[in-house]
Structures are given as structure tokens and as C-alpha cells.
Amino acid sequence: MFCNDDQKNLIVEGYASVFNITDRDGDVVSESAFYNLTNQPLPFFLQHASEAPIGSIIHARMDDYGLFVRGRVDSNLPLGSAVIEWFESGVVLGFSVGFWNVRSELVGQNRYIRKAKLEEISLVNYPSNNMATISKFWFEGVNLFGCS
């Protein structure tokens, strides 16, 4: 699929958080929760481990549905290259958000996150929010017309 030692960064995109969905932990994230979303790059980790960077989030935006992200998995990082191999093998991962709870309220069994400081995005085996899925992925800089 790749020519010689072509660098092959992986681009993944989808919703890292879907609003107003009760996740496996009983959390429900509100539409306005991530107040600190800016144009600054967000860390991109594997399984929320800060010692396990896999690349960077290159685009993030909120809409009525949730927090949409696009991330670059860097093939030059040891775990980045492992994640790329997993995708090539058909392993499916999902998104998860790491945040500090600033303001929430408990309603019955659920914690409604009203304000949260977004800290990082991770690829995980089992997303807490089962709607936090990768909708599209591709390899950056791949020559689809063969090698010369």
C-alpha cells in the first residue's frame, strides 16, 4: 500500500463527544460545556495517558450535535505508528474527551456537565459515550497511483 519508507500519518475525524447523551459513566455533556475551545492545538493521547501521545488534534469545533474533531496520528511517534498499524489491521477505536469538571449537577443517577475545561482528546478501545466514533479516516500523503 505504501511506497518504500513513505511517511504515512493517519488522519481521523468524528465526534469526540455527543451532547445530551448519557454515557456509560452516567455523564451527560451539555451543548455549552466546553467553554475553552480555541484554535490552540489539543493533545491527542492513547487511552487518556499523557505519557502516550499519538499526535495532535488539528481541528475542533462544536455544533448542535457535539464536539467534532480531526486528529493527526504521527507515524514518527512510537505509539502513533502502533495505532496506524491497528487501523491497517481493521482494529476499531473510538474517541473520548479528557476534561476538568467546572460545573455540574446531579439529577437522579446522572451527572450533567454544564461547564468543563477540555484538556485532551484520546483514542480509546471503549468510549464512554458510545456515539463518540470515528466517522472517517485516511492516510496523509499517500500516493494512490502507484510508486515510481
For residues 63 and 16, give the distance between their C-alpha atoms in angstroms, rounded to a whole number. Answer: 12
Is 96 marked active-site?
yes
Catalytic residue, chosen from 17, 96, 104, 122, is 96
Is 59 marked active-site?
no
Strand 49-62 relative to strand 94-107, pairing: unpaired
Catalytic residue, chosen from 17, 75, 104, 120, is 120
* Alpha-helical segments (H) within 51-100: 78-88
Catalytic residue, chosen from 13, 30, 31, 48, is 48
How distant, in Å, are the alpha carbons of 39, 54, 93, 106, 128 from that of 87? 27, 13, 8, 38, 20
For residues 139 and 52, give the distance between their C-alpha atoms in angstroms, rounded to a whole number. Answer: 21
For residues 79 and 100, give the distance between their C-alpha atoms in angstroms, rounded to a whole number. Answer: 25
For residues 92 and 44, give the distance between their C-alpha atoms in angstroms, rounded to a whole number. Answer: 17
Is 48 marked active-site?
yes
- Active-site annotation, residues: 48, 96, 120
